[in-house]
Amino acid sequence: MYAGTYQCAGSNDTLVISVDANPGLLVTQFLINGTDAAKGFLAMGDQIRLTPSGLVSKGGARIGLRSVLTRKPIPEGAFYPRLYALKKKLDPYGLFYAPTAVGSEDWYVTDQI
């Protein structure tokens, strides 16, 4: 219903919206004065989605949408070997630790206060 290409009269502004299996509407192109405002964000595989804000005009002719910027899901553990190798290179003695950080499997808790 809302998918399509939207252009502002008298300017070079364009918004291209499509529908996919995920919630909301997917923004596939966003030009402001002919400049691609979303190019860098979309090039990284991230998404700009529009979801209803709950705002509706009197009579219901117009609805308000909010933009949600989302990261493209990465397969679980896909980059872990590279991250672990980098951690070992930058922190060869394992000085920096966090319970859920890369390299945390090299540590174990022996006692808690």
Answer yes or no: do 65 and 86 share one domain: no
52-72: pLDDT as tens digits: 999 999 988 888 999 998 876
Answer yes or no: do 11 and 59 share one domain: yes
Cβ atoms within 10 A of the Cβ of 25, count?
A: 20
Least confident among 25-34, 47-56, 59-68, 92-101: 92-101
Written as six digits, the tokens of 39 are: 């190019």
Predicted local confidence at residue 73, as pLDDT:
64
Answer yes or no: do 85 and 51 share one domain: no
Domain that holds residue 90: 74-104
Answer yes or no: do 39 and 9 share one domain: yes
pLDDT at 110 over 70: yes
Q: What are the distances in angstroms from CA 40 to CA 20, 29, 37, 61?
A: 21, 11, 8, 34
Answer yes or no: do 56 and 87 share one domain: no
CB neighbour class for 14 (10 Å; exposed up to 12, middle 13-18, buried from 19): middle
Answer yes or no: do 82 and 65 share one domain: no
Structural domains counted in the chain: 2
